């Protein structure tokens, strides 16, 4: 049911949106609506939508043409009831959440609204009156929450993707327990307008899919600024730069001490993921997880738990007995927190964030277990709060520290249960994380979701035509790797992308009286040489201005034609700088020229 396979079936005529939707509703009828679904879009209405798509020649070009999806039941959909898994709270929505509107406009077809931990309070999927979702691998084990139904709907092959929400890990834990990809985007990049808040300052719309390519496709459609959401934001120039994702080498953080609560199989699966990431070009760097863990503790043991009361304050005051007992105990405890507690929590988080930020000077991303272990439904029901807290051991800090994350499956345990790891990066590093995660996923997993369909049969996430937030920059002399000015690139987080040559119409000169010694590259139409060796680096746009300001005359930045016909910005020399210069074109590059002088 992955998007790429479904699109291929539509293109070759072996399936139509009508036939796919009819099969989905038949499957739901056979298995029953509960516990996965709280409400469904009417079958006849969706088949009519499918016929409309099929009859519109232009609809075929829509990025999500005929793709079925589900949403967690804390999103509003006009004409449907929003329950947040609390029947007495249920109300009819009059408008549709902005992120869902974007997906519908892109041709996707909403099947229905899914089960969840009540009011998105939990990581287990057991805190609901609509029946407990279990892992698609073993019905004795929890599915993860709070976005339980959304993950299971994808894991069962009922939809191609689903939306959840993620405050503490609800878009990642269920992904791990159902062998799915779970994208927790940077806060604010997907609109939360039309979403019942859990913690409004931290909430994210999350995406469940079978592959990183599918998650990326949905993310690309759904993201963007929304004036109706006061927390909406988009990256500033260069803020989404992830040159490390295409550089072939990157540094990933691994905790110096790991906690699996006695789950040796989970520890083994994590080590397999770290080994695979190293084989993909990653360099492991140990870091102290302590401040991250202390930040994670603040989510439920600090004042942010009080924010969960805001959206349902009146309901909680008037009808608390209708709540799930565990949810009620959490929310009632939160009401005792004061404004003083809120400020103390903010101070504590600020201090911890400063400690955590030092790690990012050494690594590009973190590799963490998504969860340290996996519990049965019976275990969670016997100890609901303590075990829920353990499941959030590696997830709760991410939104508090304004980070992005992608959860991907690792190798199955010997027991047959799934295990997942998460790649975590700075805000707006989402697309770079997806590209590394896709490569890791394909090294570790064989099948997708709860099916026997092979991951290898699906297309990999395509490399972008250009690195977002970066400027490709060709360097020819003192900025080359190992040369004295290379630090001006690396201190601005630029990464080497490739070694190549210019078009043949370039000459190279050794300039006079420059410190350190530098060459001058000159465009000479009609010269027809062999080209000059250059390195192409990707520099985050935010560092380009200061870099340009540091370039002394007679050098400057201009457009350079490369041997493959592409064009990039790079170092060029003003004609006045050639006075007294020595032509060294025949050496083919600065390195060979320097080597000739040392002989």
Q: What is the pLDDT along the chain (599 residues), one digit of tens a residue?
A: 899 999 999 999 999 999 999 999 999 999 999 999 999 999 999 999 999 999 999 999 999 999 999 999 999 999 999 999 999 999 999 999 999 999 999 999 999 999 999 999 999 999 999 999 999 999 999 999 999 999 999 999 999 999 999 999 999 999 999 999 999 999 999 999 999 999 999 999 999 999 999 999 999 999 999 999 999 999 998 999 999 998 778 999 999 999 999 999 999 999 999 999 999 999 999 999 999 999 999 999 999 999 999 999 999 989 899 999 999 999 998 989 999 999 999 999 999 999 999 999 999 999 999 999 999 999 999 999 999 999 999 999 999 999 999 999 999 999 999 999 999 999 999 999 999 999 999 999 999 999 999 999 999 999 887 788 999 999 999 999 999 999 999 999 999 999 999 999 999 999 998 999 999 999 999 999 999 999 999 999 999 999 999 999 999 999 999 999 999 999 999 999 999 999 999 999 999 999 998 76
E strands, 25-154, are 37-40, 68-72, 81-82, 91-92, 109-114, 134-135, 138-142
Pair type for strands 109-114 and 68-72: parallel
Q: 134, 143, 170, 245: which one is catalytic?
A: 170
Q: List residues bridging with 506 in a β-sheet.
A: 523
Helices (H), 302-338: 304-310, 313-318, 325-334
Global pTM value: 0.94
> Any catalytic annotation for residue 329?
no
Q: 5, 7, 72, 422: which one is catalytic?
A: 72
Fold of 3-224+244-457: Amidase signature (AS) enzymes (3.90.1300)
Q: Could you give the 3-state DSSP secondary structure of residue 52?
A: helix
User: Which top CATH class is 470-598?
Assistant: alpha beta
- Terminal Cα distance for the chain, rounded: 63
429, 504, 509 from 582: Cα distances, Å: 44, 19, 5
Which sequence spans correspond to the domains of the chain? 3-224+244-457, 470-598
> Any catalytic annotation for residue 410?
no
Q: 5, 146, 245, 269: which one is catalytic?
A: 146
Q: How far is CA 446 from the centre of its chain?
A: 21
Classify residue 358 by burial, with Cβ atoms within 10 Å: 0-12, 13-18, 19+. exposed
> Any catalytic annotation for residue 350?
no
Q: Give the sign of the dihedral formed by CA 312, CA 314, CA 315, CA 319.
A: positive
Token pair for residue 19? 């036939």
């Amino acid at each position: 049911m992955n998007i790429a396979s479904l699109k291929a079936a539509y293109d070759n005529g072996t399936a139509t949106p009508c036939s796919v939707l009819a099969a989905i509703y038949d499957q739901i009828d056979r298995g029953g609506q509960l516990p996965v679904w709280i409400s469904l879009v009417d079958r006849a209405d969706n088949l009519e939508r499918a016929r409309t798509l099929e009859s519109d020649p232009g609809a075929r070009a829509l990025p999500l043409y005929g793709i079925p999806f589900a949403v967690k039941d804390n999103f509003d959909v006009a004409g449907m009831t929003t329950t947040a898994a609390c029947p007495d709270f249920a109300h009819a929505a009059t408008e549709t959440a902005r992120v869902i509107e974007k997906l519908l406009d892109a041709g996707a077809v909403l099947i229905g609204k899914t089960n969840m931990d009540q009011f998105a309070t939990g990581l287990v999927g057991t805190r609901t009156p609509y029946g407990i979702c279990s892992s698609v691998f073993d019905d004795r084990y929890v599915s993860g929450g709070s976005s339980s139904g959304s993950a299971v709907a994808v894991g069962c092959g009922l939809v191609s993707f689903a939306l959840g929400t993620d405050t503490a890990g609800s878009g990642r834990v269920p992904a791990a327990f159902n062998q799915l990809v779970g994208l927790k985007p940077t806060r604010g990049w997907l609109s939360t307008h039309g979403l019942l808040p859990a913690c409004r300052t931290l909430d994210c719309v999350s995406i469940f899919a079978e592959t990183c390519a599918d998650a990326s496709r949905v993310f690309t459609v759904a993201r963007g600024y929304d004036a109706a959401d006061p927390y909406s934001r988009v990256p500033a120039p260069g803020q989404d730069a992830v040159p490390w994702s295409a550089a072939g080498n990157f540094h990933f953080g691994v905790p110096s001490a790991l906690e699996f609560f006695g789950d040796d199989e989970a520890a083994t699966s994590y080590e397999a993921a770290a080994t695979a990431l190293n084989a993909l070009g990653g360099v492991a760097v140990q870091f102290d997880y302590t401040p991250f863990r202390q930040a994670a503790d603040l989510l439920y043991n600090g004042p942010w738990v009080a924010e969960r009361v805001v959206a349902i304050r009146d309901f909680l005051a008037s009808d608390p007995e209708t709540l799930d007992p565990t949810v009620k105990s959490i929310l009632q405890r939160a009401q005792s927190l004061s404004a003083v507690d809120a400020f103390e929590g903010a101070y504590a988080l600020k201090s911890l964030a400063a400690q955590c930020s030092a790690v990012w000077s050494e690594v590009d991303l973190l590799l963490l277990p998504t969860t340290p272990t996996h519990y049965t439904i019976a275990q969670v029901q016997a100890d609901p709060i303590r075990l829920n807290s353990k499941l959030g051991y590696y997830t709760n800090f991410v939104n508090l520290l304004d980070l992005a994350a992608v959860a991907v499956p690792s190798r199955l345990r010997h027991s047959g249960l799934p295990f997942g790891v998460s790649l975590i990066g700075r805000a707006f590093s989402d697309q770079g994380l997806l590209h590394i995660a896709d490569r890791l996923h394909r090294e570790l997993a064989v099948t997708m979701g709860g099916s026997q369909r092979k991951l290898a049969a699906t297309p990999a996430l395509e490399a972008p035509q250009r690195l977002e937030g970066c400027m490709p920059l060709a360097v020819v002399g003192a900025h080359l790797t190992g040369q004295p000015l290379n630090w001006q690139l690396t201190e601005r987080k630029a990464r080497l992308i490739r070694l190549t040559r210019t078009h043949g119409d370039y000459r190279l000169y050794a300039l006079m009286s420059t410190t350190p010694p530098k060459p001058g590259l000159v465009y000479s139409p009609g010269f027809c040489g062999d080209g000059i060796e250059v390195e192409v680096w990707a520099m985050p746009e935010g560092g380009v201005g200061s870099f340009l300001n540091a370039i002394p005359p007679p050098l400057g930045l201009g457009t350079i034609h490369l041997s493959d016909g592409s064009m990039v910005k790079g170092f060029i020399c003003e004609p006045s700088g050639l006075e007294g210069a020595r032509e060294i074109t025949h050496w083919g590059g600065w390195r060979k020229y320097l080597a000739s002088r040392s002989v």
